[in-house]
Structure 1
Amino acid sequence: MAEAAAAAVVVGSGGLLSPGLGIGWRSGLAGPIARLTGLSFAEVVAENLHDHGHGIDVPAPLQELIDGGLTAVAHGISLSLGSAAEVDQTRLAHLRSAGEAINAPLVSEHIAFVRSGGEVPAGAPHADLLEAGHLLPVPRNQDSLLVLAANVRQAQAGLGVPLALEPIAALAEWPDNSMTEGRFLSELLDRTSALLVLDVANVYANAVNNGREPLAALLEFPLERIAYCHIAGGQVLDGLYQDTHQEPVPVEVLELAAELVRVAGPLPLMLERDGNFPPEPAFFAELDSIADAAGMPRVTPGAAARGAG
């Protein structure tokens, strides 16, 4: 089973990213990241790359990593592929430009909506475009599939490189969901030929918050379509597991990542840390814990001397 799944993953991802440990590049972590060796890839939030009128500005520390041979991926957060309105062409163009600026072999976005409405009519007394400011879940039903598939295909036509889609973490389920997350994803990816960004922490959060067993939920996902994987920390607040990206990765999520690799074989797997950045030793220790759980080489300074353990 493991060998068959691993072979399927290689076919699905197209070899765009090499298996190994990656990192979500953040300016607040630029110094420690520069000291890592043997990284497989880095993911960059596209909306954090800005165009000041002469093209996308790539931060110097990130550009140095790319010039040194590190593969980078642009990760969008604002296309709102789950919205009923068509894809915003300005945002789509920015995602493409961000990917081109860092020479990304693929780009990624979320299966979510972040806005509703359309352009504001001339003379309208109020704005018709509503921005949520958060990634919000779409109902898992046939109507949502139609909207998502159309928007994904529109995005693919404007990108120039493969698109990978990430299911989000949510605190609650829509009452009219008619499919499991795994089946919904399989149908969407079949209709669009898109790839999958599998966020292990999101799988854990959604399963725990909805009374499911995390590994059972994970194994329903179309693992053969994985482009790469996220792992991140969170915490329980008000009885719900919240995927904050600001705490250390919990043991349960590390164990789920280990099970994923056991079933699917070696994968590109990266740490997302969006805030509350720890001191460098703690940051390196967290990366080591992920590498060890997934059976990957460590990438932190002195890792070879310390060995895995």
Structure 2
Amino acid sequence: MAVHPTPHLGVGLGWRAEIDTVVERLPGLDWVEVVAENVCAGHLPESLRLLRARGVTVVPHGVSLGLGGAEQPDPARLARLAQTAEALGAPLVTEHLAFVRAAGLEAGHLLPVPRTREALAVVAANVRIAQRELPVPLALENIAAHLSWPGEELTEGQFLAELVERTGVRLLIDVANLHTNRVNLGLDVAAELDRLPLEAIAYVHVAGGIERDGVWHDTHAHPVGEPVLEVLAELCRRGVPPGVLLERDDRFPPPAELAGELDAIRRVIEGVPHHV
């Protein structure tokens, strides 16, 4: 199925209420992403209204649809996501390729989907439902995982590529999550990037983490390190994505440090040697 290219987004930052005034004042910021469940379509934060008035693109990023589960997407959640996208004038919406609930019980975490052909069929059906209800294109994000399911038939890259082929969904590639899975699960990042349909990539996430006792924790609370930037560079060597966004959810640094991390991302995109 054909995938229409995403508009150019540039370099962006995850908007969080704790740093709303910082985000407003950062120079050279092209766009922002907001957690969809944290805003109300009818009462957008003043900071987001100011950014939109300046022409800054705002993309809603959902965390609760659970498109990787056996149950169909909840109509109320889909309707709320659609309303948020319309209120923000967003060019697309994004969600996670993850399992989050079953029989009314919440997992409390983004859990990996078994990479089997049976699971692929279920996810594809759920994606088509979401696509019908959303007013703009949908992109799905690869998640960080601490386990792999037994009996998997596809690699992560193969699963995503086949999902794109079946549904035309776009991809949000999180290079920090790829690094996490490399450390924790032995993922061959270069091989998986080779399997991805580059034309389907809507944008890329970059985030910091920390390694403890041989396990990488994708904290979104630490500076972006060299290994994650190296994965971004590996991806960019195959083709520069339409957008790259820095995520930070806790332990927010001073504005100058945030700006420095954004500059490091820009240097990778531009092919200039970077130092962190």
Give the TM-score normalised by structure 2: 0.93
* Corresponding residue of 2:163: 188
What pairs with 1:107-256 in structure 2 (closer than 5 Å)? 107-117=93-103, 129-256=104-231
Shift of 1:293: 1.9
- Which residue is 2:39 aligned to? 49
Residue by residue over 1:155-212, the C-alpha shift from the partner in whole angstroms, topping out at 9 and shown as x without a partner, is: 1111111111111110111112111100000111111111000111111111221223
Letter in 1 for 2:33: E
SS in 1 for 2:145: coil
Q: CA separation in 2, counterparts of 1:213 and 1:194?
A: 24
Q: Residue in 2 aligned with 1:58?
A: 44
Structure 1 residue ranges without an equivalent (≥5):
1-10, 118-128, 298-307
The Cα offsets for residues 206-251 of structure 1, whole Å up to 9 and x where unpaired, read as 1221223322332222222101111001111342112111111110
1:40-119 paired onto structure 2 within 5 Å = 40-50=30-40, 55-117=41-103
Question: Matches of 1:175 and 1:15 in 2, distance apart?
Answer: 35
Contact kept? 1:208, 1:214, Cα under 8 Å: no
Distance 1:67 1:280, change over 3 A: same
Structure 1 residues 13 and 201: CA distance shift in structure 2, 3 A: farther
Once residues 70 and 23 of structure 1 are traced to their aligned partners in structure 2, the CA distance between those partners, rounded to angstroms, is 11
User: Aligned residues: percent identity?
Assistant: 49
Of 28, 39, 47, which residue of structure 2 is paired with 1:38? 28
Number of aligned positions between the proteins:
273
Amino acid at match of 1:189: V
State how 1:1-20 maps to structure 2 within 5 Å. Answer: 12=3, 14-16=5-7, 18-20=8-10
Contact 1:205–1:241, Cα closer than 8 Å, also in 2: yes
Once the two structures are superposed, what CA deviation does each residue of 1:21-73 show, in whole Å capped at 9, x if it has no partner?
111111112122111233222111100012xxxx5311101110011101111
1:152, 1:140 → 2: CA distance? 16
Report the secondary structure of 2:140's partner residue.
strand
Aligned partner letter, 2:52? I
Residues in 2 aligned to 1:229 and 1:272: alpha-carbon distance in whole angstroms: 10
Contact 2:203–2:241 (CA<8 Å) still a contact in 1? Answer: no
Please, which of 237, 252, 262 is the counterpart of residue 237 of structure 2?
262
CA distance in 2, matches of 1:14, 1:40: 18
State how far apart, in whole Å, the 1-side matches of 2:188 and 2:170 are: 24
Q: By how many angstroms is 1:266 displaced? A: 5.1
Kept in 2, the 8 Å contact 1:235–1:244? The answer is: yes
SS at match of 1:57: coil
Please give the alpha-carbon distance, in whole angstroms, between the structure 2 residues aligned to 1:179 and 1:203: 16
Kept after mapping to 1: 8 A contact 2:33/2:59: yes
* Amino acid in structure 2 at the alignment position of 1:138: V
Distance 1:97 1:247, change over 3 A: same
Indicate conservation of the 8 Å contact 1:84/1:147, yes or no: yes
Q: Offset of 1:262 from its aligned partner?
A: 2.1
The one-letter amino acid of 1:89's match is P
Distance 2:53 2:36 in 1: 18
Which amino acid in the other structure matches residue 175 of structure 1? P
For 2:145 and 2:46, how far apart are their aligned partners in 1? 35
In the alignment, the residues of structure 2 paired with residue 238 and residue 56 of structure 1 have an alpha-carbon distance, to the nearest angstrom, of 46
Q: Secondary structure at the match of 1:283?
A: helix
TM-score (norm 1): 0.84
Residue 85 of structure 1 and its aligned partner are, at CA, apart by 1.0
Q: 2:266: which partner in 1?
A: 291
Q: Which has the higher contact order (CA 8 A, sep 6+)?
A: 1
Helix, strand or coil at the partner of 1:56: coil
Residue 255 of structure 1 deviates from its aligned partner by 1.6
Structure 1 residue corresponding to 2:12, chosen from 3, 6, 22: 22
**Runs of 5+ consecutive residues of structure 2 not aligned to the other structure:** none
Query: Which whole-Å CA distance do the structure 2 matches of 1:33 and 1:108 have between them?
Result: 20
Residues 88-133 of structure 1, C-alpha deviation per residue, up to 9 Å, x if partnerless?
A: 011111110111111001111110011001xxxxxxxxxxx10011
